[in-house]
Chain A
Amino acid sequence: MSKAALCSDRVLLNDWHVVADLTNLSSDEPFHTRLLGADLTIHSRGRYDKEVVRNDTGTLVKSTKRYGFLWACLGKPERDIVFVPEAEEGDRHLVTGGSIAVRVSGLRAVENFLDMGHFPFVHTGWLGDEPHTEVAPYKVELTAADELVATECQFYQPVASPTAKEGFIVDYVYKVIRPYTVALYKSNPVQKHRLDVITLFVQPVDEDNCVAHPFLCYLKEGIDEAGIRSFMQLIFAQDKPILENQVPKRLPLDPRAETPIRADAVAVLYRRWLRDKSVTYGAIPARM
């Protein structure tokens, strides 16, 4: 990859980002990646110690492990890693879904994750099918914790999850937790009153590239980890070519840049929320 522009958004520099699935790190070979435009090398010293080094300065980058991932912060961490309460529940599989690199801004990946309108067309036969294409109105609000939450989202899905035996109307809740972190709660097909949770930690590689690191907290009943990963990758790999063909690769924050429809209510608020936080990395800032 060619050299990339470095990030100057404080909110991103002083936050934690996933830089690797620990499963992908071997103690024999260093692992190369990039975060917010800065090339990084990850060294494994034995099985447990990981070191993240910036290639441009040779300095050590703050890093820590959580949820099966290695995390790094290029600046001074102003807050802790996102807390996933469901990860404390004993009857759930906690699975890294398989990190996949995508040639698009991570903000585009987050917005795509929030979109139900594409289900019947991109995830045909799984998360949607024709003629069930309408996105019913749903609620979106900004919470006191400064998170964006979309509730009352409903969609008919032929195969909503690895354990689904038939199509049903699935209840969704979406939560945008940080600029590059988004979570999805959806009804479990076996215990319909409980929710499976997928948190998507998006690594801003540079402005036009990202790595999607899904973290899944699925109820264990009737499913194994290989089945969860297989389903997650099946779905995400359907999104990947669509994402990589989006033009422009960065997310335009100007309200006049792309015309939303009612189903995009959460995306409209997401873009506004990014503007309010002065997030510019991976975005095309609004004209003043």
Chain B
Amino acid sequence: MITLYDYELSGNCYKLRLLMSMLGVDYKTVPIDFYPGREHKSEWFLKINPLGQLPVIDDDGLVLRDAQAILVYLASKYDPSGTWYPRDEAALLGEISQWLAFADGITGTASAARLHDALFYDFDVEAARVGAHRLFRILDEHLWFGEQEGRIWLCSAAHPTIADIACFPYIMLSEEGGIPRQDYPAIRRWCDRVKRLKGFMVMSGVFPAGPAKAA
């Protein structure tokens, strides 16, 4: 069974819970006292992840860190449909990797602003907000042009991929860092599509979508 070293308010932990819920994978969690206890920097945890970061999973002795890397692993191993991370489609894999890196950029900006505002992290919040808006603008245009071409997910496929899961959490939580999404209508529509996927689950601060309007 998979063990997830977890912190409830972490968007990077949430994206793993989300994918596992959508894949129907059983897992258990070990709550880490990330805040205020800084247990992820404790001696015992640094032996599991010397970077002192969450999330980490342990799948029958295979220990993996880094949210994006773990998404790749989970989809490769536990998705019988092979659509979340299609191993044989080179171009699509390239696109997915591109958006996984983009998700790290969102963590470095939107998530940093949230940690500053809610949990008193000593970050340059103005720089973090400007950085997040720059990424959101790029993403919104990408999604808007995609909608014109009939593409409703981040990558060029008729189905969502782990790229969508990777980018979703810290976009949804951006308002807690003082980053409103009013100016990004295509992002808001895409967020609602993610929320309507089978197996979707919430985390604290993320609410379920209302029922879709009939076209």
Give residues in A with beta carbon < 8 Å to B. Answer: 21, 23-24, 29, 31, 33, 96, 98-103, 225-227, 229-230, 233-238, 240-241, 244
Contact = CB atoms under 8 A, between A and B. Distances in A.
A98 B7 CA distance: 13
Contacts of B36: 21, 23-24, 96, 98-99, 229
Interface string B149-185: 0000000000000000000000000011000000000
Contacts of B31: 226-227, 229-230
B104 interface: no
A149 B35 CA distance: 31
B117 interface: yes
Contacts of B9: 233-234, 237
B85 to A, nearest CB: 29
Given A237-B204, A241-B176, A101 B37 contact: no
Given A96-B36, A226-B33, A230-B31, A238 B122 contact: no
Given A98-B35, A241-B176, A24 B120 contact: yes
Given A233-B35, A237-B9, A100 B118 contact: yes
Nearest to A68: B36
Interface in B115-149: 117-120, 122
Contacts of B117: 101, 103
B39 interface: yes
Contact of A29 (B32, B33, B119, B122): B122
Interface string B27-63: 0000111011111000000000000000000000000
Question: Which residue, A21, A100, A227, has most C-beta atoms of chain B within 10 A?
Answer: A100
B199 interface: no
What 9 A-B pairs have minimum CB-CB distances, sorted nearest first?
A: A237-B204, A230-B31, A23-B36, A226-B33, A234-B8, A238-B204, A226-B31, A237-B205, A98-B35
A103 B177 CA distance: 11
Interface of B: 7-9, 31-33, 35-39, 117-120, 122, 175-176, 204-205, 207
Question: Which residue, A225, A227, A230, A240, has most C-beta atoms of chain B within 10 A?
Answer: A230
Contact of B204 (A24, A29, A101, A234): A234
Contact of B119 (A33, A100, A234, A241): A100
A236 B33 CA distance: 15
Contacts of B119: 98-101
Contacts of A33: 120
A215 to B, nearest CB: 12
B146 to A, nearest CB: 28
Given A237-B8, A244-B176, 18 more contacts: A23-B36, A24-B36, A98-B36, A101-B117, A102-B118, A225-B33, A226-B31, A226-B37, A226-B39, A227-B31, A229-B37, A233-B204, A234-B204, A237-B205, A238-B204, A238-B205, A240-B176, A241-B176
Contacts of B32: 226
B175 A241 contact: yes
Contacts of B38: 23
Given A230-B8, A237-B9, A244 B175 contact: yes
B33 A230 contact: yes
A229 B204 contact: no
Nearest to A24: B36
